[in-house]
Amino acid sequence: MQPANPRILTINGGSSSIKFALFEGGDSRRVVEGAISRIGLSEATLRVKGANPADNVSLSLSAPDYAAAVSVLMSWVEGHNKRDALTAVGHRVVHGGPKYREAQRITVVMVRELHEFSPFDPEHMPEELLLIEAFHRRFPDLPQIACFDTAFHHDLPRVAQLLPIPRRYEAQGLRRYGFHGLSYSSLMEQLVSQGDPTATAGRVILAHLGSGASLAAVRDGKSVDTSMGFTPAAGVPMSTRSGDVDPGLVWYLARTEKMTAKQFNEMVNARSGLLGISETSSDMRDLLACEPRDVRAAEAVGLFCYQVKKWIGAFAAALGGMDTLVFAGGIGENSPPVRTRICDGLGFLGIELDETHNAENRAVISKAAGRVAVRVIHTDEEQMIAKMVGAVVSLN
């Protein structure tokens, strides 16, 4: 049974950062949020902001690797746990593999299986498992809950799951999984709370556009397709990820540059996308600022908007039309010029922006007479993790 005033810590571990937040009460009220950033680089930082001024922290630290950053986080958590005991910890786990589809308590068996799934996403899973195991060592009696980023897409139609490679690989778990599921769950929940009937009985395209970017096609509240596939590197170009590329590049670069599979993986995940095309920055804000005088920046922005537009068209075809388009993520929520370029020319689908509303980042940026409602929604993965954890804890 859930305590009267639960205290839930959410953990969102990335390859070079760890975001965390503390929620209190049955309504999952956020009271503290923070992050350890620039892990593995010089001048890593710990920043914490809380309702209580005493919780505020901003300092430089040494975090040459992920283990060092985890140690810093454990010390911070230990101080809070002594003052007000935590009820549970919720982890964003990027990959649930073919088995895990619902948030649930982490067990020894689950950890062993997640290690087996680790090759599915070597960019994220090892660090996430390091965090889970560190919490278990430091707080062995504290319940830990895994919230899977692939769960939202777990029941994709079979035609959207299949990879067009020899069938025998499917038995090894090779299929299209999709990611950003916690974000999409948050967006769909907010659509329901906003009274949009298409959230439960309609055709919705969700565009999570940030440093990682993907789109999802949703019919009657269920995911029917998504742009990311077996790994988060697939789909549209991102800050440093390539998105979809011709698989023949692997063999070509192996022959012409002696590039290994590991080097190719590093290239498409860390040196491609906006950074690779612009050769200057992975940040959309930087590229928009300098595109008038830098053709490389202009081409990076143009490619991003073009590819997102193509996916919207593809998903409209998969859905047989569309009723609602949602922009979310750092770019989707905060860049009116990018939204304009993506939507330009999509009038045939019923998308018509009100440019004044778009420039003001309003909640609804489409014209009142437009057939498609175009919305801007702040996605909140941490809040969604807290709610999922609260639901699991209340059942135990």
Catalytic residue ranges: 149
Tokens of 376: 């801007």
Q: What are phi and psi of 255, to 5 degrees?
A: -80, -40
For the beta sheet containing 29-37, the strands, ordered from the edge strand earlier in sequence to the opposite edge, are 57-61, 44-50, 29-37, 18-24, 7-13, 88-93, 144-148, 104-105
Q: Is 24 helix (H, G, I), strand (E, B) or coil?
A: strand
Q: Which residues of 344-365 are buried (b: 16+ CB within 10 A; e: fewer)?
A: eebeebbbbbbeebbeeeeebb
> CA 226: distance to chain centroid?
13
**DSSP string covering 197-230:** THHHHSEEEEEEESSSEEEEEEETTEEEEES--S
Q: Which residue has the tokens 């919230």?
A: 147
How far, in Å, CA of 19 to CA of 35, rounded? Answer: 4
Q: Is 304 helix (H, G, I), strand (E, B) or coil?
A: helix
Helix %, strand %, coil % for the chain, to 5?
A: 45, 20, 35
